C-alpha cells in the first residue's frame, strides 16, 4: 500500500520535490530522536519511515529507469541499490560509530538532522534555480561533428541492439582497416 501511494505521490509532486521532502523527513526524524525524552514518543517519529524509505525506494527505481539506456534499467537499479546498501551504509556506519564513540550518543542524531536539513536546503535551492533556467541549453546546437548512430532493426526482442556508426574510420584522412 505504501509503495502504491508513493508512486502516486511521485507522479503528483515530481521526483525533485519528493527528494526534498525525503531529506526534510529524515531531518525531522533525526531531530525527533535527539529531542525525545519518553519512549512512547518514538511512535510519532516512526511515521516518518514512510517518507524516508517508502518514497525513497520508489524514487530510486523511477529515477534509475528514467536515466538508464534502453534495456539497462534493471542493471542501473541494481547498481544504485548496491551502492546505497553497500557503500552508503558502510560509510554511514563508520561515520556514525565515530561520532557515537567520540561524542554523546544523542548528539549523533542532532548532527544527522542538521546534515539532512542543510542537504534539503542546498538541493531545494539547486532544484529551484535549475528549474528557472530555460531548457534551450539541452537542445544540441547545429554541430556537424556529432556522428549519427544507427540501431540495427533486425534484433530480437531479448537481444540488445548493436550500435553502428555510419561514418568510416579514418586516420589522417585515410581509411583505416581493422
All structural domains of the chain with their residue ranges:
2-138
CA-to-CA distance for 47 and 131, rounded, in angstroms?
A: 31
pLDDT of 123 reads 93
Residues facing residue 151 across a β-bridge: 163
pLDDT of 9 reads 86
pLDDT of 71 reads 86
Least confident of 23-27, 49-53, 94-98, 171-175: 171-175
pTM: 0.68
pLDDT of 28 reads 92
Q: Is the pLDDT of residue 140 over 50?
A: no
- Are 60 and 18 contacting, i.e. CB atoms less than 8 angstroms apart? no
The single residue listed with the C-alpha cell 555510419 is 166
| 92-105 mean pLDDT | 87
Amino acid at each position: 500500500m505504501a509503495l502504491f501511494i508513493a508512486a502516486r505521490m511521485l507522479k503528483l509532486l515530481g521526483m525533485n520535490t519528493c527528494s526534498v521532502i525525503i531529506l526534510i523527513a529524515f531531518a525531522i526524524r533525526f531531530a525527533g530522536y535527539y529531542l525525545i525524552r519518553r519512549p512512547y514518543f518514538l511512535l510519532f517519529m516512526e511515521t516518518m519511515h514512510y517518507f524516508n524509505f517508502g518514497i525513497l525506494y520508489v524514487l530510486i527505481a523511477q529515477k534509475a529507469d528514467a536515466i538508464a539506456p534502453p534495456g539497462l534499467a534493471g542493471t542501473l537499479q541494481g547498481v544504485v541499490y548496491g551502492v546505497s546498501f553497500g557503500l552508503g551504509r558502510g560509510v554511514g556506519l563508520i561515520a556514525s560509530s565515530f561520532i557515537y564513540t567520540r561524542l554523546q550518543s544523542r548528539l549523533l542524531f542532532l548532527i544527522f538532522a542538521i546534515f539532512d536539513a542543510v542537504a534539503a536546503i542546498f538541493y531545494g535551492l539547486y532544484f529551484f534555480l535549475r528549474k528557472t533556467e530555460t531548457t534551450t541549453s539541452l537542445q544540441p546546437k547545429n554541430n556537424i561533428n556529432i556522428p549519427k548512430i544507427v540501431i540495427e532493426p533486425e534484433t530480437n526482442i531479448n537481444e540488445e541492439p548493436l550500435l553502428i556508426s555510419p561514418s568510416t574510420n579514418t586516420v589522417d584522412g585515410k581509411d583505416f582497416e581493422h
